[in-house]
Amino acid sequence: MSDFELPDSGILNVLALSQIFEATTTSYKYLFFLSILDLLKKEQFKASLSLSFESIFVEMLVNAWYPHSQFRLSFGKKDQIPNSLDALRIKMLQPILKFTDLEKSSVRQAIQKKDLNAITADLKRNVPFRLIRPFLIEKLRRFDVDYQVVQETPRIADQYFDIYKPLYCFNATTFKESDAILLHPDWLRYLQENHEIVRHWAAWEWLDYMQQRNPTVHNLIDKLLIA
């Protein structure tokens, strides 16, 4: 766990936010949330902002590309992100010595040119719906099977959006039709006001996860590009 303490809020369930990485066995939640934060900043935290699954998934692959392609770090035994990146066969014309914004943009453009249908289908199955489970746990706990939890989350998130204020809801009330998230306006303001703190918290949680899977790797913080 990181030593960062998330800023409190009188109107939001910050405790639920602090629990989004609990019981995590793959990199997906970390990369998903970090990618949301990056996209929010890129879009200047526009009101009523929605983010497509595909845009988030692309950013996840971008954020994973450097530690995987340059250092072959382990993401976990069940994690398919490295295999997905290998299947894309991203080739850079120039060697990447430091993953600057310009180089990151080049990797993003290369990924966007690829067929991402299989990767998108795989990532959609769980992570967008499981990430917000702590916010809706009171209503989701009645579903005994994980499959049901995932299937019911879009409907529950929509129904209780103004009551429980989850981080986001979806652009549809069914799993099948959902292909984007809509940030709760109160969380959008919170993340804008506390972006640096929240991203540092998430980044250090990500570091902790990767340290457990790469215990002999030195200077892991530099390989994950955590400021």
pLDDT mean over 96-107: 79
Cα–Cα dist 201/219, whole Å: 19
pLDDT digits (tens, 9 = 90+) for 122-178: 999 999 999 999 999 999 988 878 889 999 999 999 999 999 999 999 999 999 999
pLDDT tens per residue across span 67-84: 999 899 999 999 999 999
Is the pLDDT assigned to residue 1 strictly greater than 50? Answer: no
The gap between the terminal CA atoms of the chain, to the nearest Å, is 17
Res. 97 pLDDT band, cuts 50 70 90: low
Mean pLDDT of 184-196: 96
In this structure, are residues 137 and 117 in contact, taking their beta carbons and an 8 Å threshold? Answer: no
What global pTM score does this model have? 0.94
Mean pLDDT of the chain: 92
pLDDT band at 14 (very low <50, low <70, confident <90, very high): very high
Q: Among 97, 90, 148, which residue's Cα sits nearest to residue 81?
A: 90
Segment 187-211 mean pLDDT: 96
Is the sign of the CA dihedral 136, 140, 145, 148 positive or negative?
Answer: negative
Q: Are 191 and 37 in contact (CB under 8 A)?
A: yes
- In tens, the pLDDT along 17-45 reads 999 999 899 999 999 999 999 999 999 99
84 vs 2, residue with greater confidence: 84
What confidence tier does 100 reach under pLDDT thresholds 50, 70, 90?
confident
Give the torsion sign (CA, 120, 80, 1, 163): positive
Eight-class DSSP state of 126: T
**Which residue in the block uniquely carries the two structure tokens 């120039």?**
94
**pLDDT level of residue 99 (50, 70, 90 thresholds):** confident
Percent helix, percent strand, percent coil in the chain, to nearest 5? 55, 5, 40
Q: Look at 225 and 96; give whichever has higher pLDDT.
A: 225
Domain ranges within the chain, ordered by starting residue: 14-223
Overall residue count recorded for the chain in this entry: 227
Q: Which pLDDT score is estimated for 92?
A: 75
